[in-house]
Homo-oligomer: A and B are copies of this chain.
Amino acid sequence: MAVYTDVAAEDLAEFLKSYDIGELLSYKGIAEGVENSNFLLHTSQGAYILTLYEKRVAEDDLPYFLSLMAHLAERGVSCPQPARNRKGEVTSRLAGRPAAIINFLEGVWPRRPNVAHCAGVGEALAKMHLAGADFPLVRKNPLSVSGWRPLFALAAARADSVQAGLHDFIARELDHLEASWPSDLPVGVIHADLFPDNVFFLGDRLSGLIDFPFACNDILAYDVAICLNAWCFEPDHSFNVTKARALLKAYGRERPLSAAEEAALPLLARGASMRFLLTRLVDFLNVPEGALVQPKDPLEYVRKLRFQQNVASLNDYGITPAGCAA
A residues lining the B interface (CB < 8 Å): 1-3, 8-13, 24-32, 40, 42, 47, 104-112, 200, 202, 289-292
Residues of B contacting A30 with CB < 8 Å?
Answer: 28-31, 40
Q: A8-B112, A26-B108 are in contact. List 17 more A-B contacts (CB 8 A).
A: A1-B3, A2-B31, A3-B31, A9-B110, A25-B108, A25-B202, A26-B106, A26-B107, A27-B108, A28-B28, A29-B32, A30-B30, A30-B40, A31-B31, A42-B47, A42-B106, A290-B290
Residues of B contacting A27 with CB < 8 Å?
Answer: 108
Give the Cβ gap from A193 to chain B, nearest Cβ, in Å. 19
Whether B29 and A111, one on each chain, are in contact in the complex, defined by CB atoms closer than 8 angstroms, is no
**With A26-B200, A40-B28 as contacts: A9 and B290 at CB distance below 8 Å:** no
Residues of B contacting A42 with CB < 8 Å?
Answer: 47, 106
Give the Cβ gap from A120 to chain B, nearest Cβ, in Å. 14
Give the Cβ gap from A204 to chain B, nearest Cβ, in Å. 12
Residues of B contacting A2 with CB < 8 Å?
Answer: 2, 31, 292
Residues of B contacting A31 with CB < 8 Å?
Answer: 2-3, 28-31
Give the Cβ gap from A181 to chain B, nearest Cβ, in Å. 36
Whether B110 and A10, one on each chain, are in contact in the complex, defined by CB atoms closer than 8 angstroms, is yes
Name A9's closest neighbour in chain B (CB-CB): B108
Name A110's closest neighbour in chain B (CB-CB): B9
Residues of B contacting A24 with CB < 8 Å?
Answer: 108
Q: How far is the CA of A292 from the CA of B291 in the complex (A)?
A: 9
Q: Which residue of B9, B13, B109, B200 is within 8 Å of A109 (Cβ)?
A: B9
Q: How far is the CA of A47 from the CA of B104 in the complex (A)?
A: 14
Give the Cβ gap from A296 to chain B, nearest Cβ, in Å. 14
Whether A10 and B292, one on each chain, are in contact in the complex, defined by CB atoms closer than 8 angstroms, is no
Give the Cβ gap from A223 to chain B, nearest Cβ, in Å. 24
Give the Cβ gap from A295 to chain B, nearest Cβ, in Å. 15
Name A27's closest neighbour in chain B (CB-CB): B108
Name A24's closest neighbour in chain B (CB-CB): B108
Give the Cβ gap from A201 to chain B, nearest Cβ, in Å. 8
Name A4's closest neighbour in chain B (CB-CB): B292
Offer 18 A-B interface pairs, CB within 8 angstroms, sorted by A.
A3-B31, A9-B108, A10-B111, A10-B112, A11-B111, A12-B108, A13-B108, A24-B108, A25-B106, A25-B107, A25-B108, A26-B200, A28-B32, A28-B40, A29-B31, A30-B30, A42-B47, A290-B291
Q: How far is the CA of A3 from the CA of B47 in the complex (A)?
A: 21
Q: How far is the CA of A8 from the CA of B197 in the complex (A)?
A: 11
Q: How far is the CA of A8 from the CA of B110 in the complex (A)?
A: 8
Q: How far is the CA of A1 from the CA of B4 in the complex (A)?
A: 11
